Amino acid sequence: MSSIHMPPGDAPSESLAEAWAHRAARDHGLPFVDIRNVVVSPLVAELLAEPACRELLAVPIALEDGVVTVAVANPAHPGLEERLTSLLGHPVSLQVAPGDALEQTIDERFEPGAEVPVATPMRQSLLGDVLITHGAVSAAQIDTALHDQEVVGGRLGEILLHQGIIDETQLLTALSELHGIPAVDLGTIEPEPEALAAIPEPLQRELRIVPLLVHEGVLWMASADILTAESVARLEAHTDLEHRELLARASEIDLLQQRIYNEAYSRTAVHLLKETNPDDSGDVVFTKPQLTTFAVIALLILVFGIFFPITVLVVLVAILGIFHLSVSIYKLRLVLGSLGEHAGIDVTEEEVNALDNATLPVYTILVPLFREAAVVPALVKGVHSLDYPRHKLDVRLLCEEEDEETIDAIRALELPPHFHLVIVPPSLPQTKPKACNFGLLQATGEITVIYDAEDRAAPDQLKRAIAAFRKSPDSVACIQAKLNYFNSEQNLLTRWFTTEYSMWFDLMLPGLDKAKAPIPLGGTSNHFKTAELLRLGAWDPYNVTEDADLGIRLHKAGLSTAVIDSTTFEEANSDLPNWIRQRSRWIKGYLQTYLVHMRNPVRLFRQMGFKGFISFQLVIGGTLTFLINPIFWALTTIFTLTQFDVIRQMFPGFVFYFAIAQLVIGNFVFIYANIAGTIHRGYFRLVRHALFSPLYWGFMSIAAWKGFWQLIVNPFYWEKTEHGLDSGHSTNGHPAPAAPTANQNAS
């Protein structure tokens, strides 16, 4: 674009050019500026490169509160404001100036020998120049950071901070000097209740501000960075008070927010689900109607058993046998449905690579830790390996207040600013889901994922989840990644455990996904839309398999879970007593989940539909088979050894043949499913171990009866699983048995 040109033969008239500019300003409701009377800092002018200045006939003339004021000749230029915002990296405010005066200013600004700032990166940055002046960075580092900013978006200061080039104090000093806003030390400040009440806590957390006091109608607040025009507008939607900013370190703002709201976070972490949806809360194990129903059934069995003992036993055996067989057949159907075709959401490498880092959302990673000091360094290494912009990560390490060893281990590492140590205050129940709720209430990410301390996720898993969400219906609120083990070859138990996980995550869950049935989530690598998770009431702090319970609640709410082909490798439990503790908790939690959602079977049927209801009975309720198995095994063993006549009478002709079919089919399905899972993943060396799966089934039944007993006497007790037992057997996050197949995501 050029300046206003007069008809041929007429000399340009300064007054006429000004008149054109005044008219354009009036027509567009913009201020007029006589740029010849404006003293423009070279640093401000250099925000826009010469080619862009000449093309758009525009000159930056001021920068205040993060907004660049730009003098332009033609405000009607198509897409002008959007183009300038993109080029400058700041919101813009337009003013109109005469075109010839702008051309003269541009000529003077870019003529040879004109004053040039110390820093000369690809696009000048005022903050960068201040940091260079302070000796905090070099011009080359600013060049690199500005290039990174073009790629990943975000603010220059946070990029430099997350790269470890500057620290918080250097950034705070530079921002304070640049914008003329005082810095404040929040260590001894106690905010006024009136100020805190002016802005909702979630918005305070999102904008990283803390309202401090109200004085003479002005709300003073501490901020980690200059608020954008959009942020200011959101503040003004909640208060009529005029506001003033003070700058503070981001870490101090986080600590102050925790100190202010810790008690509220702790209370909400326990009671959120009870208050939003009490019928889905597991704080009561057996409701009165359930106890009444169980008592009536037991009484009927007792009464009829007295008068018709054999008939009652035959009926019970038949009912249990039908249920057991139904579970086996349904499992086989799901496994077969996943073989030979892709189930879940298919995300290609091309789709992952096509993601624009600048548009990626903030991602919260919650890592609950309890007595995990030994694995903290490996955990941090795993997070660092994730392919995601660091300044868009919100990693929250959740530690119980009593766990001083783990807390000290985290503090000793002096982690970068995207890591946040969150200390969970003591309260009951002391469970993983309560800690996750406490962390979730402080999360800033649009997406939230859970990882366990020993997890080693595929580096591109976060991006795969984003791509999956973007190509999924809005009803998909959770993306479940697959889980497997990095120490599968440690001993026989880890081999069995790996065959089971290969079957469950590579075949069963994708089969449930394909069937549009409720999916009991795995305990880690669940990627949630944060807003939907909070709307559901987050995790049930009383449920010791909060993951499975949440998967059911998602389905009941009309939302869904999708499975992606990305694997997180964990440590397989290699110690049998430790494995029994872990598995008994899992089975106790599944039984608890079944009881909670079966409080009103009619309502559950309406919420889930016929297919979902039946799937729930056979997958979650199917846990009962682990309790049933020892009964049938005992009857079979006793009859084989003694030919006891009562047992013979319990199995009349049709029941006997049915029981034989159940025995054969049940064991076949269990063995076949585990073999299919190992082959599907490419773990061919584990196939021979899968042949002995019924022995593994026996250990499950031992754990099941332990879990059942705990459900009655100590339902909310969290059996702690000891990690770090894989010494010498780790394969650095990759499985040992075989190379990946076409069906396996390389991690």
Instruction: Note whether residue 391 is domain-resident.
Output: no
Exposed, middle or buried, 566 (CB in 10 Å: 0-12/13-18/19+)?
A: buried
The predicted pLDDT at position 42 comes to: 58
Are the CB atoms for 338 and 511 separated by under 8 Å?
A: yes
Give tens-digit pLDDT for 705-738.
999 999 999 999 998 888 888 765 554 444 444 3
Q: Is the pLDDT of residue 358 over 60?
A: yes
Give the C-alpha separation, 295 to 305, whole Å: 15
Instruction: Note whether residue 256 is domain-resident.
Output: yes
Shared domain check, 170 and 194: no
Q: Predicted confidence band at 21 (pLDDT cuts at 50, 70, 90)? A: confident
Helix, strand, or coil here: 517?
coil
Shared domain check, 206 and 62: no
Shared domain check, 507 and 645: yes
Give tens-digit pLDDT for 559-572.
999 999 999 999 99
Are the CB atoms for 98 and 21 separated by under 8 Å?
A: yes
Mean pLDDT over residues 86-110, rounded? 86
Q: Is the pLDDT of residue 592 over 90?
A: yes
Helix, strand, or coil here: 153?
coil
In order, the DSSP letters of 532-582 are HHHHTTS--TT-TTHHHHHHHHHHHTT-EEEEEEEEEEEPPP--HHHHHHH
Q: Is the pLDDT of residue 154 over 90?
A: no
Are the CB atoms for 428 and 542 separated by under 8 Å?
A: no
Give tens-digit pLDDT for 652-698.
767 777 777 888 898 899 999 999 999 999 999 999 999 999 999 99
Domain tally, the chain? 4
Of 742 and 186, which is predicted with more confidence?
Answer: 186
Instruction: Note whether residue 194 is domain-resident.
Output: yes
Domain boundary (144, 164, 179) is at 179
**Pick from 502, 559, 511, 561: which is nearest to 735 by CA?**
502
The predicted pLDDT at position 179 comes to: 80
Mean pLDDT over residues 5-19, rounded? 46
Rounded alpha-carbon distances, angstroms, from residue 229 to 35, 68, 516? 25, 11, 44
Shared domain check, 706 and 589: yes
What is the DSSP secondary structure assignment for residue 505, as one 8-state letter?
Answer: I
Instruction: Note whether residue 598 is domain-resident.
Output: yes
The percentage of residues in the chain with a pLDDT greater than 70, rounded to a whole number, is 90
Helix, strand, or coil here: 631?
helix
Domain boundary (139, 162, 179) is at 179
Q: How is residue 380 written in tokens?
A: 């941090």
- Helix orientation angle between 309-338 and 653-681, rounded to the nearest 10 degrees: 20
Domain boundary (219, 241, 275) is at 275
Q: How is residue 271 written in tokens?
A: 């009671």
Shared domain check, 131 and 74: no
Instruction: Note whether residue 651 is domain-resident.
Output: yes
Are the CB atoms for 105 and 59 separated by under 8 Å?
A: yes
Of 193 and 4, which is predicted with more confidence?
Answer: 193
Shared domain check, 90 and 148: no
* Residues 6+ away with beta carbon under 8 Å from 524: 450, 451, 452, 455, 483, 547, 568, 570
Shared domain check, 716 and 622: yes
Are the CB atoms for 225 and 183 separated by under 8 Å?
A: no
Shared domain check, 601 and 699: yes
- Helix orientation angle between 139-152 and 126-133, rounded to the nearest 10 degrees: 150
Shared domain check, 502 and 650: yes
Q: Is the pLDDT of residue 124 over 70?
A: no
Instruction: Note whether residue 414 is domain-resident.
Output: no
* Residues 6+ away with beta carbon under 8 Å from 646: 310
State the average pLDDT for the chain.
88
Exposed, middle or buried, 624 (CB in 10 Å: 0-12/13-18/19+)?
A: buried
Are the CB atoms for 647 and 639 separated by under 8 Å?
A: yes
Shared domain check, 167 and 37: no
Mean pLDDT over residues 587-597, rounded? 98
Shared domain check, 195 and 171: no
Q: How is residue 323 written in tokens?
A: 């249920």
Instruction: Note whether residue 119 is domain-resident.
Output: no
Q: Is the pLDDT of residue 9 over 50?
A: no
Residues of the domain holding 252: 186-275
Q: How is residue 260 written in tokens?
A: 């202010």
Q: What's the CATH number where 245 sits?
A: 3.30.300.160
Helix or strand (DSSP H, E) at 446: none
Are the CB atoms for 649 and 311 separated by under 8 Å?
A: no
Q: Is the pLDDT of residue 115 over 60?
A: no
The predicted pLDDT at position 631 comes to: 84
Instruction: Note whether residue 326 is domain-resident.
Output: yes
Q: Predicted confidence band at 10 (pLDDT cuts at 50, 70, 90)? A: very low
Exposed, middle or buried, 564 (CB in 10 Å: 0-12/13-18/19+)?
A: buried
Helices (H) and strands (E) in the chain, counts: 31, 14
Q: Predicted confidence band at 310 (pLDDT cuts at 50, 70, 90)? A: confident
In order, the DSSP letters of 635-699 are HHHHHHHH--HHHHHHS-HHHHHHHHHHHHHHHHHHHHHHHHHHHHHT-GGGHHHHTTHHHHHHH
Phi, psi of 731, deg, nearest 5: -115, 30
Q: Is the pLDDT of residue 334 over 50?
A: yes
Give tens-digit pLDDT for 31-67.
999 888 877 665 576 678 888 888 889 999 887 767 8
Give tens-digit pLDDT for 605-643.
999 999 999 999 999 999 999 999 998 888 777 777 776
Q: Predicted confidence band at 644 (pLDDT cuts at 50, 70, 90)? A: low
Give alpha helix (H) positions in 370-420. 376-384, 404-412
Shared domain check, 80 and 161: no
> Which residue type, as a one-letter code, is found at position 49?
A
Rounded alpha-carbon distances, angstroms, from residue 386 to 154, 291, 363, 395, 479? 18, 49, 11, 12, 17
